[in-house]
């Protein structure tokens, strides 16, 4: 299965049409069941390399943070990294969605 940005509705998010992940397999960004350790790390590193070259990385990252995307690599961040950022924002009183 291929997708644009992780098979989500694009009508409200035209920026996703410019994502560097367009046409890539979702499996590069989302872990399969039971993937652990070095395999997960290697897959995530590969996904993040795609994000590093993406022209809409900042939009994607803020989208994922604002809606609390629980799974996958979005905007160059993995699941744990997003949880950490959201935790910091919560503790500092910063809204989930950064002001635009």
Establish if 5 lies at the interface with ligand SF4 (CB under 6 A).
yes
| 21 annotated ligand-binding residue | yes
Task: Supply the minimum distance, in Å, between the C-beta of residue 76 and ligand SF4.
Answer: 6
Helix, strand, coil abundance in the chain, percent, nearest 5: 50, 5, 45
For CA atoms 65, 66, 70, 75, give the dihedral sign: negative
Nearest 5°: the CA angle 3, 20, 16 is: 65
Compute the residue count for the chain: 100
By beta-carbon proximity to ligand SF4, the closer residue of 24 and 92 is 24
Collapsed DSSP state (helix, strand, coil) of residue 77: strand
Establish if 54 lies at the interface with ligand SF4 (CB under 6 A).
yes
Number of amino acids touching ligand SF4 (CB under 6 A): 13
| 76 annotated ligand-binding residue | no
Annotated binding site for [4Fe-4S] cluster: 21, 51, 54, 60
User: For binding to ligand SF4 (CB under 6 A), which residues are involved?
Assistant: 5, 19-21, 50-51, 54, 56-57, 60, 74-76
């Amino acid at each position: 299965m291929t997708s644009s940005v992780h098979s989500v509705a694009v009508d409200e998010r035209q920026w996703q049409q410019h994502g560097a992940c367009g046409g890539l397999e979702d499996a590069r960004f989302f872990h399969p069941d039971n993937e652990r350790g070095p395999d997960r790390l290697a897959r995530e590193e590969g996904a993040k390399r795609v994000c590093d070259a993406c022209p809409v990385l900042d939009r994607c990252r803020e989208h994922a943070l604002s809606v609390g995307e629980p799974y996958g690599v979005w905007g160059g961040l993995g699941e744990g990294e997003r949880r950490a950022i959201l935790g910091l924002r919560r503790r500092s009183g910063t809204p989930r969605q950064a002001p635009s």
